[in-house]
Chains A and B, each alone.
Chain A
Amino acid sequence: MRRPDVVEATEAVLCRAQISLPGWVVRLIENALRRERNEIARYHLEAILNNIRIAESDARPVCQDTGLPVFRVEIGERCSLDFDLWEAIAEGVRMATGKGMLRPNVVDPLSRSNTGDNTGPGMPCLIVDHVTGESLRITAFPKGAGSENMSFLGMLNPADDPFEYILKNLAERVSNACPPVFVGIGMGGTFDQAAALAKRAIMGVPGESEEELLLLERINGLGIGPMGLGGDTTALGVRIERAFCHTASLPVAVNLQCWANRRATARVTEDGWSIE
């Protein structure tokens, strides 16, 4: 596999994710608008759909918070990489930033000095999976701070009701996460596993289990609405990922994603790369 293909594919998926939302995300917002009864909420949902159309037609980022560069990387077992994959993806991020498609967002956590190119130690953030096959799949999930800042994690008592915990915290926090949101929940495992599962939940599509649908209904029953100004549409989907945990603990992590649920995927093979 050629390094320049990985660099180019990274730049391409990161730019594409900024401009164009997946069709299923747009359809969830359109469906929400059909059901929404609150007038201010309808104004907001219409503005959001209009914004999605403008971003696509002008080829400009949907949101000025072009996020942190987060990627899921699926490495096929027969894929041969004779270069530093992280460094190649970082170069793709720097190229996308240089094209003016990304706002420079990445800073040192203490000095707050901005690197200017959206990379730095630990950033880009790669979530790596080893899969079958011979290709490399790169999915960009640019993650904005508004919804990331409102995410939360609790080491609950096993006797606690995790859904009550989630609802109470969402009621306090979700209006700052640019609702309508997607709610990714990691349940069980260790402290760090719960957070990682919540991130993976956000990277999936909304779930349709009884628990997920009931929680979605209860969140929307809060009436917080788009941008926290009231309405029927607070969340567009819920997904729960779980791991077995210690008999003494119940870790629960909730990662929020605003309506701009950006993502794009490319596949890199020995012969080159293409957007999926």
Chain B
Amino acid sequence: MEHRVRSPLSEMDVSRLSAGDIVWLSGTVYTARDKAHQRLGEVKFDLRGGVIYHCGPLIRDTTVVSAGPTSSVRLARYLPQVLDLGVRCIIGKGGMPGAAELLRGRAVYLAYPGGCGAAAARSLSVRGVSLPELGMAEAVWQLEATDLGPMVVAIDSHGRDLYREVRESAEKHLKR
């Protein structure tokens, strides 16, 4: 099933998305990776209903040049704090171990195709920045998305995690 959604997201918006669905997202997204997650309390934006994009963009002046996802696995340890700030959607790649239980009833994880920074950049424009002293890749960029996608609902808010299913099936295959 395909969905077009707009941030900020409500609990209902998130609940409608099921693992395997395709999503195109418009509205505000906030980039955050390792350093920003260590300093979440200092981010000046209101993240309630918000979208966090695991991304360290390449930006020239104030233009987004390339902006695909970074590996979410490094950021899994911060997920409880991120959800406590009211974030409803995380965009990344590769999934987050242990996320399915934390996201249940609260938020959803979308997979943007890794490495597709050129295509993503066409859908994103810069609105603002927080923690610019962290540098281009690590700052929190406030970006306006227009039909960012296609993204796959990889971990939904009902407990389904496609990465886990694929990994378990691969492990079973190895034991055969």
Contacts and interface: CB of A to CB of B under 8 A. Distances in A.
A40 B165 CA distance: 14
B115 A260 contact: yes
A251 interface: no
Interface residues of A, number: 49
Nearest to B163: A228
Nearest to B73: A176
A120 interface: no
A98 to B, nearest CB: 11
26 contacts: A40-B162, A47-B113, A47-B150, A48-B113, A48-B116, A50-B119, A58-B122, A60-B66, A61-B66, A61-B117, A62-B66, A63-B116, A64-B68, A64-B117, A100-B60, A104-B137, A146-B114, A167-B174, A168-B174, A172-B167, A175-B94, A175-B167, A227-B114, A229-B154, A229-B162, A258-B114
A228 B169 CA distance: 12
Interface of A: 40, 43-44, 47-48, 50-51, 54-55, 58, 60-66, 100, 102-105, 112, 114, 116, 144-146, 149, 167-168, 171-172, 175-176, 178, 221-230, 258-260
A55 B118 CA distance: 5
5 pairs of A and B residues whose beta carbons are closest in the complex: A100-B60, A178-B114, A55-B118, A64-B117, A51-B116
B163 A229 contact: yes
A256 B14 CA distance: 35
A175 B166 contact: yes
Interface residues of B, number: 46
B171 A171 contact: yes
Contacts of B115: 48, 51, 62-63, 65, 144, 146, 178, 258-260
